[in-house]
Structure 1
């Protein structure tokens, strides 16, 4: 599952983005990958490991909700369980 959130730019700067990606690894665990930054500039990548899908999905939804409260807008959602 993958979500792309974007924040409206202030003035002439490029928009900020957050990409949240949920994926399973080879050992049956789940990983939440968070990429944040400004378009056209460097970004930051963080990875969090979870033992089961439910806790990983809960972390993804929490991160999504936090960014929505900060003024980000959901631009793209991909995946079978993509939140609406």
Structure 2
């Protein structure tokens, strides 16, 4: 699953983005990858390991909701809609 969120730019600067991705690993766990930064500029990547899919999905939902409260807008969603 992949989500792309963007924040409206202020003035002439490029918009900020957050990309959230869920990936299964080879040992049966799940990784939540969170990439954030400014479009066309530097970005940071953070990886969080989870033992099961439900915990990883809850972490993805919490990260999404946290960024939506900060003014980001959902621009793109790919993958399954539910569990």
**TM-score, normalised via structure 2 length:** 0.97
Question: SS at the partner of 1:21?
Answer: strand
Taking the aligned partners of 1:47 and 1:81, their CA distance within structure 2 comes to 22
Runs of 4+ in 1 over 3 A off after TM superposition: none
Structure 1 unaligned residues grouped into runs of 5+: none
Residue in 2 that maps onto 1:42: 42
Equivalent residue runs for 1:51-70 within 5 Å: 51-70=51-70
Q: Following TM superposition, by how much is the alpha carbon of 1:24 offset from its aligned partner in structure 2, in angstroms?
A: 0.2
Question: SS at the partner of 1:80?
Answer: coil
Aligned residues: 83
RMSD over equivalenced CA pairs, Å: 1.3
Taking the aligned partners of 1:19 and 1:10, their CA distance within structure 2 comes to 20
Structure 2 unaligned residues grouped into runs of 5+: none
Q: Following TM superposition, by how much is the alpha carbon of 1:80 offset from its aligned partner in structure 2, in angstroms?
A: 1.5
Question: SS at the partner of 2:60?
Answer: helix
**TM-score, normalised via structure 1 length:** 0.96
